[in-house]
Chain A
């Protein structure tokens, strides 16, 4: 052992890194051997438990998806609000400052993780995780594209509301365990708000459930296929308005962001939090925005459906049929493409050196090639097109949420409560009655 220690101490730092990488590679290769040897058995076991495998894969994917999503929404928020304030906003880190939220994430990771004396450290630690996991679990049932969803539940909508509502437990846990009366008040205030707005939020989609006859989100989306006239927002405008307002409050967004009103109370329930735990609350908020936008799109705006029946273009591309020619094509096309795109620049401007023209040609070729591949995928793969439409609509909603944050001032707590109980809930009930009456009327007329 001493020999190993001495040898290790003699290594330079690059040497240590290299040795570590080599050892890691060896270990992984060694682990690969039993995997290959027992591949049939492993595949059998996986195949026998396909739903579990699918669930694990979906959960992992969704969990991984939330991080770039949150980063993107945080960046959007910083940039869009800045542009609306006639500022430039982040523009230092990365292209147009787009990596600033990543840097924020790193900063939050490096900060001290502080637990106040007297706090219930278990609950205190769990609270951010609970708050964060609630929207992540809700993402599981959201249908992103045909065939691209975690679980297809026949009570998907109910599950989504139930799980998304769990985030209030995290807020309450955080407020309660902080050993700080102001945090506790903030947590209770957050709970009061979120619970109040839960009711009109759920009631507002009842009309859609009645029309669709199902709570399965995939079925709801498929019911809205075809022209954009089929979207439920045209049949349920009142429900959409109620849903949107309640969802804003549910996601703790301005003008209903009283749970942590940055400029008024310190941070509400999150006063005692620091470092990555605090960051988790914020991640939860932005994932929540994404979930709420995705839900609005799914229920009211046709989900993955294009606003018009997309003309079916059949691109019968079968690269496999080329055989060995495909390999040659892969080798030749980038070279030829680069030269073809470089030629005009080189010929048009005598002052341009050849290497510059080739760099320009390479970049242009890559842009065109990526665009061509994406276009091909959009046309011929249903899930790519669906995902594109879904994300487009969802981020349009995210933009609206950010836009609202850039515009509207915060409401008072009593106005908030009055609005929920005296207006939104009544409107939601009214919408249910009107929808029910209309359904009965139409079915009577059809008879």
Chain B
């Protein structure tokens, strides 16, 4: 309590007058962008859809594109079948080696998850030797692998990626594109026979297309 009436009012008025001249707290966002580090990319998080399931399709593109390799992905794919992993392993030494590997764009062999999918990969190496580790012959490689194992093990795909230098996403895309390639072994004999494991005749649809184009003849088919 002061003894001068109105002193508090004067003090308050002085405060607001000082505020009047101070720099303002407002951030004019669209005109003035927020002051964040240039490499800041926001917070990493997995999003859920309206049914509460993960929106992540395990496509690995985020992990592949991550410039500082901070994204580590692992788990069951969206259909709950395959255990997949992409990311730095636990120890630093390996991590350093693989960091260089990953910068080259290759898939990193993942020892930590090897026991989930125990497959002997020497056959894959033999097949790759045949085609001289050429990723352009991917379809042939995949068909040979399927002929050997009866299906395409994920660890084999990763091994192919590691050896040839092709992106895992590309290999997976190739393997999932063709109907005669499959990712799991046939459950019984009937199923094994029901599924046609030979490569479909790709020139067939070209013939059909030629017929549809009023007999101009089939164009030259792709060469594999």
Contact = CB atoms under 8 A, between A and B. Distances in A.
Interface of A: 80, 83-88, 91, 403-404, 406-408
Interface residues of B, number: 13
Contact of B9 (A80, A91, A406, A408): A408
Contacts of B24: 83, 86-88
Contact of A403 (B16, B22, B25): B16
A83 B28 CA distance: 14
A85 B25 CA distance: 9
Most interface-central of A84, A91, A406, A408 (chain B CB within 10 A)? A84
B15 A407 contact: yes
Contacts of A84: 16-17, 19-20
Contact of A406 (B16, B25, B26, B28): B16
B12 A407 contact: yes
13 contacts: A83-B24, A84-B19, A84-B20, A86-B26, A87-B25, A87-B26, A88-B24, A88-B28, A91-B28, A403-B16, A407-B15, A408-B9, A408-B13
A398 to B, nearest CB: 15
Interface of B: 9, 12-13, 15-17, 19-20, 22, 24-26, 28
A407 B13 contact: yes
A369 B217 CA distance: 83
A86 B22 CA distance: 7
Nearest to A91: B28
A408 B10 CA distance: 10
A403 B21 CA distance: 13
A86 B13 contact: no
B16 to A, nearest CB: 4
A223 to B, nearest CB: 29
Given A87-B26, A88-B26, A80 B20 contact: yes
A403 B13 contact: yes
Contacts of B25: 86-87
Nearest to B19: A84
Contacts of B12: 407-408
Contacts of B26: 86-88
A392 B16 CA distance: 22
A419 to B, nearest CB: 11
Contacts of A404: 13
A148 to B, nearest CB: 32
